[in-house]
Structures are given as C-alpha cells and as structure tokens.
C-alpha cells in the first residue's frame, strides 16, 4: 500500500537501514520490483523520471503511473511513488496532481541561495497536498547516466545542512559524499567521515544517489552512518539487458509467448532488487 515518504524514511532512520529506491520506467519493472520487495518484506520506493513521464504527449503519466497506482494496493508492504530529479516546478505540480507520494527538487547545480529558493518553492507546492519533498545539497555528478566520472561532484558541507533544511522545509536531503550517477569509469571512494558529520547536522533523513556500482562494503558503511534511501538505476538497466540478450537467443520458435520472452528480463531484475534490499538491511523490516 502507499505510505508517506516521511514515515517510510523515519522508520528507516530509527532502525538504521536504507530503503531502496528504484527508477522504474517500464511496466515489467513495476511487477518485478514490487513482487520482490514483498517477498523480502521490505519497504520500497518506485521512482519516475520527468523524461519518461513527459514522453508521447504525457502518456507516461497516464499509463505508467496509472499502472503503479492500480497495483500498489495488492502489495502488503509500504510503497512510495516518488518523482526523481527535476528542477522544473511545473513537473512538481504535475506529480502532485497525479498523486505522487513525494518529489525530488534538484537545485544542486545552483548557488546555495538559489537552491534554497527553488527548493522552498517546491515545498510550497507539495506540502498543502501532503506530498513530501527531497532536496539536494552539494552536487552528485554524472547526469547523462552513461559515462560517469566523479570529477563534477561537489561534496556537501556540514555547516550548510541545518540552514538548508530549516530554510526550505525539506523532508529528506540528498547529499554528495563521493558517489556519481550512471556507470563508474573508476571505483568511487565514499567520504564516510563527512557523511557522519552531515548526519549529525541534519534534522531529516539523508539520501544517497548513484547507488549503482558503489562497492557493497562502502554502501553498508554509508547506511550505518545515516543513509536512509539509496537510488538505483544503472544496475537495474544492466540486469534487464542481460535478461534481454538471453531471451533473444532462447527460443526455437518465431512466436514465443510474451511471458516466456520477458521472463529472463524479470528474473535478472528481481535478482538485483533482492540483492539491493539485503545490502541496505531492508529485508524483514516490514512485519
Ligand atoms: Zn540522482
């Protein structure tokens, strides 16, 4: 069932685990992620991206979000429907109108005061509708999702955190501690000491972006030091592609059944979803 972002991350912070947040952009992903999370008794966040929702004249809002909203009630675990990265307040408004649980407003590439103003404007739109907001302070690089380098990262400063949260009213904060989006060209090294300082300064739960490809031991250290939500996209895409390649050569008939064609894609994605849930200590958190 749908729950609030704030409640979900509050439980994670109190119980020292992180909720996996999967970018979920195709129908087959909705089912694979929700069924696996339910099996693992884990809360889960499904994230939509503006670039997917706006395609085909906005059909992503109708079909993809309509599908998710129709099926969440069948799953007996807390689920959050979250809009990932946008700096577009119109998209925030659209997500609020379409019944999202929470949204991310990303002003992290702007100077502090501009980031505060944009984020506070998003909170003003979302809060009256009961929609929670994630902001970002510091900058997690690698937005093209394909060729990721960590050089454009800007680490979050602890002395800005309290001020940012107070001035914007955000419910969660994405911080930059050394991860990047997409597929790494070289392994990242997370700044756990910095994370501990950020967590001590932050009144709200912290979020780690760029979870794909980050070494497991570093991810777990990050969870132990305050990360309550981790975003995953690239690892899911790579898993689905493995399944797709297997499916493409698996049949000796020209008309395989749809469920057989998609089975390897779903299976590979399910494996990654289960791995991430366990990695973040989220399994068994729903009783
Ligand atoms: Zn991100």
Q: Tell me the pLDDT of the chain (287 aa) as tens digits.
A: 999 999 999 999 999 999 999 999 999 999 999 999 999 999 999 999 988 888 767 788 888 899 999 999 999 999 999 999 999 999 999 999 999 999 999 999 999 999 999 999 999 999 999 999 999 999 888 765 444 445 568 899 999 999 999 999 999 999 999 998 988 888 889 999 999 999 999 999 999 998 888 999 999 999 999 999 999 999 999 999 999 999 999 999 999 999 999 999 999 999 999 999 999 999 999 99
Evaluate whether residue 286 is within a structural domain. Answer: no
Give dist(CA 94, CA 52) in Å, integer.
13
Beta strand pairing call for 132-137 and 102-105: parallel
Residue by residue, DSSP assigns 143-206 as TTSSSB-STT-BPPPHHHHHHHHHHH--SEEEE-SS--SS-BSS-----HHHHHHHHHH-SS-E
Q: How far is the CA of 241 from the centre of ligand 1 (A)?
A: 21
Whether residue 174 is contained in a domain is answered as: yes
Q: Within a domain: residue 287?
A: no
Q: Which entry of 27, 84, 159, 260 is annotated as an active-site residue?
A: 84
How far is ligand 1, taken at its centre, from the CA of residue 181, in Å? 6
Q: What's the CA gap between 224 and 74, in Å, rounded?
A: 32
Distance 85 CA to ligand 1 centre (A): 6
Inside any domain, residue 284: no
Q: Provide the total of helices (H) and of strands (E) in the chain, helices listed first.
A: 12, 8
Active site residue 84: yes
Q: Decide if 248 is inside a domain.
A: yes
Residue 156 belongs to domain with CATH number: 3.20.20.70
Token pair of 43, please?
A: 């809360």
Is residue 135 one of the residues assigned to a domain? yes
Tokens for 33? 């992620």
> pTM for this one?
0.94
Taking the CA of residue 256 as centre, how many other CA atoms within 13 Å lie in the half-sphere pointing to its CB?
A: 14
Closest CA to 19 of 217, 208, 280: 280
Q: Is 34 domain-assigned?
A: yes
Tell me how far the alpha carbon of residue 231 lies from the centroid of ligand 1, in angstroms: 7
The token duo for 48 is 């939509």
The pair of three-digit structure tokens given for residue 76, joined into one six-digit string: 């007996």
> 111: domain range?
5-279
Domain count, the chain: 1
Q: Report the separation in Å between the CA atom of 249 and the middle of ligand 1, taken as the mean of its atom positions.
A: 34
In a domain, 285, yes or no: no
């Amino acid at each position: 069932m749908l729950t609030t972002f704030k409640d979900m991350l509050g439980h994670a912070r109190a119980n020292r685990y992180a909720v996996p947040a999967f970018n979920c952009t195709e129908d087959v992903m909705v089912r694979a992620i929700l069924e696996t999370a339910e099996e693992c008794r884990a809360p889960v966040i499904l994230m939509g991206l503006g670039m997917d929702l706006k395609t085909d004249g906005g059909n992503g809002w109708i079909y993809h979000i309509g599908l998710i909203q129709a099926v969440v009630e069948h799953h007996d675990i807390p689920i959050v429907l979250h809009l990932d990265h946008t700096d577009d307040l119109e998209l925030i408004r659209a997500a609020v109108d379409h019944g999202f649980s929470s949204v991310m407003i990303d002003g992290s590439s702007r100077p502090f005061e501009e980031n505060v103003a944009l984020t506070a404007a998003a909170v003003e739109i979302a809060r009256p509708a009961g929609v929670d907001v994630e902001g970002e302070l510091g900058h997690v690089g690698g937005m093209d999702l394909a060729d990721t380098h960590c050089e454009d990262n800007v680490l979050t400063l602890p002395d800005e955190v309290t001020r940012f949260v107070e001035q914007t009213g955000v419910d969660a904060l994405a911080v930059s501690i050394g991860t990047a989006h997409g597929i790494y060209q070289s392994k990242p090294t997370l700044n756990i000491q910095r994370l501990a300082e950020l967590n001590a300064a932050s009144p709200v739960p912290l979020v780690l972006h760029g979870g794909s490809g980050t070494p497991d031991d570093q991810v777990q250290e990050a969870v132990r030091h305050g990360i309550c939500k981790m975003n995953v996209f690239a690892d899911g895409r790579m898993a689905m592609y493995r399944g797709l390649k297997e499916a493409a050569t698996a049949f000796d008939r020209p008309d395989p059944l749809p469920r057989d064609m998609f089975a390897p894609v779903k299976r590979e994605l399910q494996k990654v979803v289960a791995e991430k849930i366990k990695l973040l200590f989220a399994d068994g958190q729903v009783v």
